[in-house]
């Protein structure tokens, strides 16, 4: 009976907390990205991000997380290069590793740290714009490779990386899109008192 009461209390607690979680600042900001579930899963695991919806804080942490996710995918591809025998599979791994490593090089700030965060955001966004135009894709590189566990794992890791890169790009866009924008020009009505002299009759 005590166990039942405990279970009921736990269920009630979950039900009470669910609405608050659904409306949390993090979830509301992540909802504006291409992959809200991925955004929430990755950034929700970072203490600094759990209770904030500030795009700048989230974007900064997203860049670091994207670098980690990409590095893991690249490391996997490089490790398998020394094992596979199939030529097409080797090419698949090699090309994917190069593409992923290039992306990570624009994300990783371990060497000396980031002095200008806005410059880092712009660099990442520029790279993503170029990458989108070039349509680099592990799926394209691996099209001729035979189906295998290695290929499936690589494509899964790459897909996770690409999805979070899109999330990161969306968060960066929220920051850059509002930072440094000139103030709107005052309307003519706002200057009406200055334009029309005060004439005493």
Domain extent listing, the chain: 33-107+114-176
Q: What is the pLDDT of residue 113?
A: 52
The CA distances from residue 146 to 58, 160, 168, in Å, are 39, 21, 32
State pLDDT tens for residues 70-129.
999 999 999 999 999 999 999 999 999 999 999 998 887 645 554 578 888 988 888 888
What average pLDDT does the structure give for the chain? 80
178 and 122 in contact (C-beta within 8 Å)?
no
CATH architecture of 33-107+114-176: Up-down Bundle (1.20)
End-to-end Cα distance, the chain: 90
**pTM, entire model:** 0.74
**In the 8-state DSSP scheme, what is residue 34?**
S
């Amino acid at each position: 009976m005590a166990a039942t009461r405990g279970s009921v209390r736990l269920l009630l607690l979950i039900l009470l907390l669910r609405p608050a979680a659904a409306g949390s600042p993090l979830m509301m900001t992540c909802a504006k990205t291409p992959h809200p579930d991925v955004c929430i899963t990755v950034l929700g695991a970072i203490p600094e991000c759990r209770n904030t919806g500030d795009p700048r804080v989230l974007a900064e942490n997203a860049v670091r997380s994207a670098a980690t996710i990409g590095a893991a995918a690249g490391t996997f591809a490089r490790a398998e290069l020394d094992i596979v025998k199939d030529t097409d599979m080797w090419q698949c791994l090699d090309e994917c590793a190069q593409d992923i490593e290039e992306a990570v090089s624009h994300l990783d700030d371990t060497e000396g740290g980031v002095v200008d965060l806005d410059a880092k955001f712009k660099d990442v966004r520029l790279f993503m714009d170029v990458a989108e135009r070039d349509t680099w894709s592990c799926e394209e590189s691996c099209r001729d490779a035979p189906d295998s566990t290695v290929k499936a794992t690589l494509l899964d890791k790459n897909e996770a990386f690409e999805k979070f890169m899109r999330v990161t790009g969306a968060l960066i866009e929220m920051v850059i899109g509002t930072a440094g924008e000139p103030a709107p020009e005052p309307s003519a009505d706002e200057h009406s008192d200055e334009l029309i002299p005060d004439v005493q009759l």
